[in-house]
Amino acid sequence: MESLNFDLASSSLSDMNRFLHRDLADGDRRHVSVLNPDGAHNIAVGLNHPVTVEVHGHAGYYAAGMNKHATVVIHGSAGTGVAENMMSGTVHVKGFASNGAGATAHGGLLVIDGDAGLRCGISLKGGDIVVGGSVGSFSGFMAQAGRMVICGNAGDALGDSLYEAVIYIRGTAKSLGADAQFEDMTDADYAALAELLSKAGLDHDPKSFRRIASARSLYHWNADADQEY
Amino acid sequence: MCGIVGLLVKTPALKERLGELMVPMLIGMTERGPDSAGLAVFADPLPEGSRKLSLYSGLTDEGADFNWHGLTHALKDHLDVEALIDVKNNHAVLSFAVAPDMIKRWLREHHPKLHILSTGRTIDLYKDVGTPAEVAERYDFKSMKGSHLVGHTRMATESAVTPDRAHPFTAGEDFCLVHNGSLSNPNDIRRKLQPHGIHFDTDNDTEAACRFLEWRLREGDELEAALQRGFDEMDGFYTFLMGTPDKLALIRDPFACKPAVVAETDDYVAIASEFRSLAHLPGVKHAHVFEPAPEEMYVWKA
């Protein structure tokens, strides 16, 4: 398979993104390497073909945002909003990710080997996120659908105002957010978790995780809420 | 939005290259802060009884043509003080071997439009409006030497774009602070400080934070205790980077609303709002790169 290199020390990011958008044929499965990303923003955003993009270094904001079909591997850390609003495909961050990782992702799989910052998976809409390390506060806030696996610990207000997304956590959460609750793991949870861990290349025992989901008490307006202190 | 940079060198040989390593860091933050830029450099201290003032003449009628040598002659005539002056454009470092209050009082009386940017034994401070590249060129930032520095690129949100509202802000002696973010209670902080006789030069929110923390240090708090008081008192969004004669300190608000990234090697600690300002540093590909956690204190000693 043809392989291509873009060295951002000598060519522009726009040229590379333009190539990934305009010059690929439908179903293009080529392998593209990005050298010297040096924290540039918007690397490999909005991809729409099953290419593989390997970023060799640290990526800036919104790397692989709005991804569709592509596989993007970042051999370094990722800035704010990695894989935000992903539709499908896979994004794998080998280092740590900053705030808002995988925000609003509709589909696809985001794997972060290191820690993720605050608000990881905020407003998740159907994507899957596996974090090898820990996540910051307000992760999974208002997550509507999809699954989030946290192998380490979580900060404050994990899963605040969850809808139907499910969180699996191996370590401890500093606190759960409003309406989030621990629930018993079912066989279906263990199977789903085993599959996600396997896809992420992690060999933790699914039995070591706990499930967090919505108590659904915020689903309906409670006119008496202010009387119930 | 603003950009923050900081650099502390551990290898003595790198002190000579401090400015040269920093300039690309500052320019890398141009998109985050194109309207003003500034830099505080900490170098070997002057002797015990000596002080230096960083002065800015851009707000005087003469501007960059200010008669700096006339100033030192007048100090000799009026106060019998031998002062040395090191001039860079509309900026100069005035050093002398007497108590600084007497000199500052005289300056306020005779040159009210001359802005005193900093006071101390170790700190030199430069700031002005313009792009980071323009400001770096204006004051020859690449030639700066020292053990550590704090730099800033500004995109104003809370007060006007003027040289005195650019960062770093200073208070007391040998203390400076730069800010990315916006405070929601700067006026509460001002009202708490004013009864203690603390005076403000501008209406800028960052100045409130700077004077608050310096006040705590002056009252005897260790840096860590002062920063903890800061977490309790200051509300809003902030990444603060502070410089003292022998330390750099960094804190982020509990919501980590404003970014920061650190790269550490055996030779240096480099801090910036984003990695793209660190990418050029020697050996950075093998540096320990991490994101400082919210509401934690990070203190590096020179």
**pLDDT tens per residue, range A147-168:** 999 999 999 999 999 999 999 9
Task: Give the domain CATH number at A125.
Answer: 2.160.20.60
Using a CB-CB cut-off of 8 Å, the residues of chain B touching A118 are 255-256, 294
- Tokens 């992903």 correspond to what residue? A86
CA B153 to CA B33: how far, in whole Å? 4
Answer yes or no: is pLDDT of B157 > 70: yes
Which amino acid, A87?
M
Chain B nearest-CA distance from A90, in A, is 24
The DSSP string of chain A is --EEEEETTTS-HHHHHHHHHHSPPTT---EEEEE--TT-SSTTTT--SS-EEEEES-B-TTTTTT--S-EEEESS-B-TTTTTT--SSEEEESS-B-TTTTTT--SSEEEESS-B-TTTTTT-EEEEEEESS-B-TTTTTT--EEEEEESS-B-SSBTTT--S-EEEESS-BS-B-TTEEEE---HHHHHHHHHHHHHTT----GGG-EEEEE--TTSS--TTGGG--
Using a CB-CB cut-off of 8 Å, the residues of chain A touching B264 are none
> What average pLDDT does this structure show over A65-79?
98
Mean pLDDT of chain A, nearest integer: 96
Tally the domains of chain A: 1
B210 noted as active-site residue: no
Write the residue in A60, A137, A138 that is nearest to B275 by C-beta: A60
pLDDT score, position A25: 84
**Tokens, residue B205:** 């929110």
| Higher pLDDT, residue A226 or B101 | B101
Q: Which secondary-structure segment (H or E) carries B95?
A: strand B91-96
The DSSP string of B74-117 is HHHHHH----EEEEETTEEEEEESS-HHHHHHHHHHH-TTSEEE
Tell whether A206 is covered by a domain: yes
pLDDT score, position A28: 87
Q: What is the pLDDT of residues A115-135, one digit of tens each?
A: 999 999 999 999 999 999 999
What share of chain B in percent tops pLDDT 90? 99
Which amino acid, B151?
G
**Listed residue (A116, A155, A161, A127) closest to A141, CA to CA:** A161
| Higher pLDDT, residue B61 or A25 | B61
Look at the alpha carbons of B27, B22, B68, B103 in this order and tell me if their dihedral is positive or negative: positive
- Determine whether the interchain pair A40/B274 forms a contact, defined as Cβ–Cβ distance below 8 Å: no
pLDDT score, position A222: 83
Using a CB-CB cut-off of 8 Å, the residues of chain A touching B293 are 136
Structural domain range at position A211: 3-217
Q: What are the φ and ψ backbone dihedral angles of A166, each rounded to 5 degrees?
A: -120, 135
Using omega within 30 degrees of 0 as the cis cutoff, is the peptide bond preceding B292 cis? no
**Listed residue (B16, B42, B278) closest to A37, CA to CA:** B278
Which residue segments constitute the domains of chain B, with CATH numbers given?
A: 2-45+144-301 (3.60.20.10), 48-121 (3.30.70.100)
Sequence-separated (6 or more) residues with CB below 8 Å from residue B195: none
| Higher pLDDT, residue B9 or A3 | B9
Q: What angle do CA A170, A173, A178 make, to 5 degrees?
A: 125
**Tokens, residue A57:** 């270094």
Lowest-confidence range among A24-33, A46-55, A111-120? A24-33
> What average pLDDT does this structure show over A93-116?
98
Answer yes or no: is pLDDT of A2 > 70: no
Interface of A with B (CB under 8 A): 36, 38-41, 57-58, 60-61, 76-77, 79-80, 95-96, 98-99, 117-118, 136-138
Tell whether A223 is covered by a domain: no
Tell whether A50 is covered by a domain: yes
Write the residue in A39, A99, A136 that is nearest to B275 by C-beta: A39
Tell whether A120 is covered by a domain: yes
Q: What is the pLDDT of residues B182-235, one digit of tens each?
A: 999 999 999 999 999 999 999 999 999 999 999 999 999 999 999 999 999 999
Write the residue in A36, A58, A99 that is nearest to B275 by C-beta: A58
Tell whether A60 is covered by a domain: yes
Tell whether A177 is covered by a domain: yes
Lowest-confidence range among A79-83, A219-223, B239-243? A219-223
- Determine whether the interchain pair A80/B256 forms a contact, defined as Cβ–Cβ distance below 8 Å: no
Cβ B278 vs Cβ B261: under 8 Å: yes
pLDDT score, position A223: 84
- Determine the longest span between alpha carbons in chain A, in angstroms: 67
Chain B nearest-CA distance from A123, in A, is 17
Sequence-separated (6 or more) residues with CB below 8 Å from residue A216: A179
Write the residue in B256, B280, B290 that is nearest to A136 by C-beta: B256
Using a CB-CB cut-off of 8 Å, the residues of chain A touching B180 are none
